[in-house]
Amino acid sequence: MNTWKLTYRNFIPGNEPLREALTTLGNGYFGTRGAACESHASEIHYPGTYITGVYNKLPTKIFGKTIYNEDLVNCPNWLVFNYKINDGPWFSYLESKIMDYRVELNMNNGILTRRFRFKDNRGHITFVRHKRIVSMADPHIGSFCYTFTPENYSGKIMVRSGIDGEIKNEGIERYKELNNKHLKALSAGKFGKDGLYQQSRTTQGKIRISESIRTLFYEDNVQKYPKFKVIKNDKSYCSHEFSFNAKKGHHYNVEKLLSIYTSRDQGVPDDLKKAIEKVSQIENFNQVSRDHKAKWKAIWSRFDIEVTGDDFMQNVLRMHIFHLLQSASTHNEDIDAGMPARGLHGEAYRGHIFWDELYIFPFFNLHAPEITRAFLMYRYRRLEAAKAYAAMYGHKGAMFPWQSASTGEETTQAIHLNPLSGTWGPDYSFKQRHVSIAVAYNAWSYYYSTGDIDFLECYGAEIIVEVACFLSSITQYNKKTKRYEIKGVMGPDEYHEKYPDSEEGGLNNNAYTNIMAVWVIEKALLTLDHLLSKEASRALLLKTGIDGKELSRWRDIIHKMTVPISKNGIIHQFEGYMKLKELNWDKYREKSVQVCRIDRILKAEGKSPDEYKVSKQPDVLMLFYVLNMKELKFIFNQLGYRFGKNILKKNFDYYYPRTSHGSTLSIAVHSCITSLLNDNEKTMELFSIAMESDIHDIQGGSTNEGIHTGVMGATINIFLRVFAGLDVLEDRICIKPNLPEGWKSIKFQVRYKNIWFKFDINSSALKVKAEPMHKLTIRPSNVIPVVINKNVHKLHPEKTYTIIL
Ligand code: BGC
């Protein structure tokens, strides 16, 4: 097995949507699904192109109400390409006999190749090969090279190449009733001898999108200059055609070069002019390919994780790294956009940004923290919106929306379709106030692992303090219990939206939210009291309007927050959880293969998951994923609760059997939890399932609509935390490897406070080398501490050490 490749050896129409998502190419700026270039949107194909941060909001009248939805816009399709032989019909996969079909995504160099032979109904056999690139070297460039080789005939081949701006967001069946035409065509036309352009504008946000292409032609690798005929040229669609006399056995290459700019790009006053200029400067596909490959080579030299002894794991780890880097790369540093939960790979969740960043950022923090910083700046720029959102509900501080898109306003839909029952119901998921906790947690973790005090002082501290302020403002003091409480929120488990007999959404004292609120407030105090300079701290208090009274309240909350917990150490997911009914899991497992979405099954039966002890994903257990035992024990004890020795085991045994894993995130988190319980076998079993989430689309159709960036980040995080045993402390990193059975060795590097640590580990020895990024500051006396299996080792820079394990 080639662990750098994803290979598909047959054309199965029903499998195309999944393969298109998994073979998406992207560079953080834009992504294009791996749809065949000869295809157009249909039940089989969906050639979507998405530009990060390009959203548009549309109203739809439904059930007598007008609802608004904001979508990551499917942009004009630059792939448009087709051909016909000897005046026959245009090529179609369904109407030709397809032979020797093979699609290969090479993740090592970021090139997607589709090759096959086909026989048309007149018996012409043609070998074709399509190589595609979305340039990692220049985020505004894409290209493909299409090669024809007539095998049993000589004849005329006519080729059409163009841009289609007559595009809607139609990738998700269940959104089809909603308005989906986000683009207004502005202009299209030709330039030079071989160029075409198309410019559109989003209907609401008025973002201009300009695409320009050139089509080049080569006969047996010698460039020819055919005469192009512009075929259709209205504002939304343009294409040109040319034909050539193909000789049996000869090779004919048609190259398509693309440039994309939008009016959001910095330093680009005229996006169309820039797109035309850029594409005109490209020499050919080979030039794009050369630069692109060099860039991927440099990326992998830092980001790769090598596993010997398990090819499947190796392959999927690389796939997860590859797709995360295609969804967000260092090009994002200059872009105002967040990390979409489904990448730039499809239209699920409308391209919105959730709390999933919490699963993804640890990977970026340890490899390219500038990407995390860019995403945190996306949040920082929306702090005003988060404060307005809090104020709308009568709260103080910053309340980030559950789903975020362009403005930072709440974009969670108000009603939700149950595909099983075909009915719409209210959607309370916006009550997941823990998303603000995740934003503060991410800002803190970024600072903690990079030491970027400049970020903390200028932006991070303000995020953390504003979120702490919000959490304090939704906290009420209960005179009876003499404790603080948070009411009316949802935890990460989305199945419980409200109390069964209540009309209002939200639950009281969700343990995860309450404990994490204490954690955030604690960090806000630490930042103000100890990390910022006196002046910076004072300025921040002045800016945020937080006074001494509020700070005293914070100090009180961290000692008196409510955590619903039984004497036996079971933490209640929320107050009242223990009174809910038990579900007969066996009955549902017998009836349905898809128990993971038990919420939909119950709703279709006229019941509600609110009535049962059934969770979509870890809620109480999530605490053990985000915080370490020491931190949790500290918080519990400070609050006056017992943190018994077996607390994790007890809560795992209680909640795990009551969890349906309706989110791909669920299994990944549980695999991390079982590792804390030292259950290696279960850890590996769950980790393997998490690794299959997207490659095998374990939720049956979900990956077709976009990858799950959260689970991709989580699995890499688990690799680093659990199998490599990496622990990032404030002043050093620690490593305590625990290689799964069958893994012979692992090799990876992480960047911690501007030092690259290179590890090469097998069951008997660990090799480590520390490479500071600022070579000039290295002095012979410098030593870098690393804790290996609890022993401190002092490393001299650039020297490789071998430690016997
Ligand atoms: C999960 C959420 C997640 C969202 C986006 C949902 O299915 O329950 O936790 O944030 O997907 O990935």
pLDDT (tens digit per residue) in 357-366: 999 999 999 9
Among the atoms of ligand 1, which is closest to the Cα of residue 617?
8
CA dist 732 and 795 (Å) reads 12
Coil, helix or strand at residue 576: coil
Residue 609 is given by DSSP the state: G
| CB of 135 shorter than 6 A to ligand 1 | no
Q: At 376, is the secondary structure helix, strand, or coil?
A: helix
Q: Give the pLDDT band (50/70/90) at residue 72.
A: very high
What's the 411 CA to ligand 1 centre distance in angstroms?
Answer: 14
How confident is the model over 88-112, as pLDDT tens digits? 999 999 999 999 999 999 999 999 9
Q: For residue 568, give Cα distances in angstroms to 572, 628, 645, 647, 653.
A: 11, 21, 11, 9, 13
pLDDT over threshold 90, residue 778? no
Q: 360: which 2 tokens?
A: 């993804």
Q: Is the CB of 494 under 6 A from ligand 1?
A: yes
Per the prediction, the chain carries an average pLDDT of 96
pLDDT tens digits, one per residue of 529-543? 999 999 999 999 999
| DSSP state for residue 508 in the 8-state scheme | S
In the predicted model, is pLDDT for residue 80 greater than 90?
yes
Which residue has its alpha carbon closest to ligand 1 atom 7? 663
d(CA 368, CA 65): 45
Predicted model pTM: 0.97
**Averaged over 708-733, what is the pLDDT?**
97
Q: Active-site residue numbers?
A: 494
Say yes or no: CB of residue 200 within 6 Å of ligand 1. Answer: no
Both tokens of 457, joined, read 């002082």
Query: Distance between CA 659 and CA 661 in Å, rounded?
Result: 6
Report whether residue 356 contacts ligand 1, using a CB cutoff of 6 Å.
yes
- Please say if the pLDDT value at position 422 is more than 80: no
Confidence of residue 355 (pLDDT cuts 50, 70, 90): very high
- What pLDDT is stored for residue 438 in this prediction? 98
Q: Please say whether the beta carbons of 402 and 410 come within 8 A.
A: yes
Query: Does 512 sit in the ligand 1 pocket, CB within 6 Å?
Result: no
For residue 498, the 8-state DSSP code is: B
Residue with CA at minimum distance from ligand 1 atom 9: 492
Residue 746 three-state SS: strand
Give the residue ranges of DSSP H helices in 103-157: none
Query: How far does residue 663's CA lie from ligand 1's centre (Å)?
Result: 6
Q: List, for residues 490-503, the tens digit of each pLDDT value.
A: 999 999 999 999 98
CB 266 within 8 A of CB 331: no
Q: Among the atoms of ligand 1, which is closest to the Cα of residue 355?
A: 10
Q: What 3-state DSSP class applies to 433?
A: coil
Asked whether the predicted pLDDT for residue 516 surpasses 80, the reply is yes
CA of 179 to the centre of ligand 1 (A): 24
pLDDT at position 522 is 98
Reduced to 3 DSSP states, what percent helix, strand and coil does the chain have, rounded to the nearest 5? 35, 30, 35
pLDDT, tens only, 555-600: 999 999 999 999 999 999 999 999 999 999 999 888 876 788 899 8
- How would residue 174 be classed by pLDDT, with cut points 50, 70 and 90? confident
Percent of all residues in the chain with a pLDDT value above 90, rounded to a whole number = 92
Stretch 468-488: mean pLDDT, rounded?
98
**Number of residues that this document lists for the chain:** 805
- Distance from residue 342's CA to the centre of ligand 1 (Å): 10
pLDDT of residue 682: 98
User: How does pLDDT run across 381-415, given as a tens digit for each residue?
Assistant: 999 999 999 999 999 999 999 999 999 999 998 77
* Cα 174 to Cα 176: distance, rounded to the nearest angstrom: 6
| Percent of the chain with pLDDT strictly greater than 70 | 99
Mean pLDDT for the stretch of residues 374-384: 98
d(CA 602, CA 596): 11
Q: Out of 339, 350, 354, give the residue to mutate to test ligand 1, the one with the largest number of ligand atoms within 8 Å of its CB.
A: 354
Does 341 contact ligand 1 (Cβ within 6 A)?
A: yes
Q: Ligand 1 pocket, 412 CB below 6 A?
A: no
Q: Is 616 in the pocket of ligand 1 (CB under 6 A)?
A: yes
**DSSP-assigned letter for residue 506:** B
Residue 232 pLDDT level (bands cut at 50, 70, 90): confident
Nearest to 662 by CA among 706, 597, 725: 597
| Distance from residue 385's CA to the centre of ligand 1 (Å) | 22
Centre a 10 Å sphere on the Cβ of residue 774 and count the other Cβ atoms it contains. Answer: 8
pLDDT of residue 725 exceeding 70: yes
pLDDT at 62: 80
CA–centroid distance, 215 to ligand 1, in Å, is: 41
Q: How high is the pLDDT of residue 780?
A: 65
pLDDT of 266: 96
Which pLDDT score, from 0 to 100, does residue 593 have?
65
In the chain, count of helices (H) and strands (E)?
A: 21, 31
Pick the atom of ligand 1 nearest to 349's CA: 5
What DSSP element (H or E) covers 735? strand 733-735
User: Which whole number is the average pLDDT over 327-345?
Assistant: 97
Q: What is the mean pLDDT of residues 184-203?
A: 98
Ligand 1, atom 1, residue with closest C-alpha: 663
Task: Report the half-sphere exposure of 551 (CA within 13 A, side-chain side).
Answer: 18
Q: Which atom of ligand 1 is nearest to the CA of 352?
A: 5
The crossing angle, in degrees rounded to 10, of helices 461-473 and 369-380 is 50
**What's the pLDDT at 660?**
95
pLDDT at 122 over 80: yes
| Ligand 1 lined by 663 (C-beta under 6 Å) | yes
**pLDDT confidence tier of residue 777, bands split at 50, 70 and 90:** low
Tell me how far the alpha carbon of residue 72 lies from the centroid of ligand 1, in angstroms.
17
Q: Which atom of ligand 1 is nearest to the CA of 710?
A: 12
E strands in 702-764: 726-728, 733-735, 745-752, 755-762
Q: In the 8-state DSSP scheme, what is residue 585?
A: H
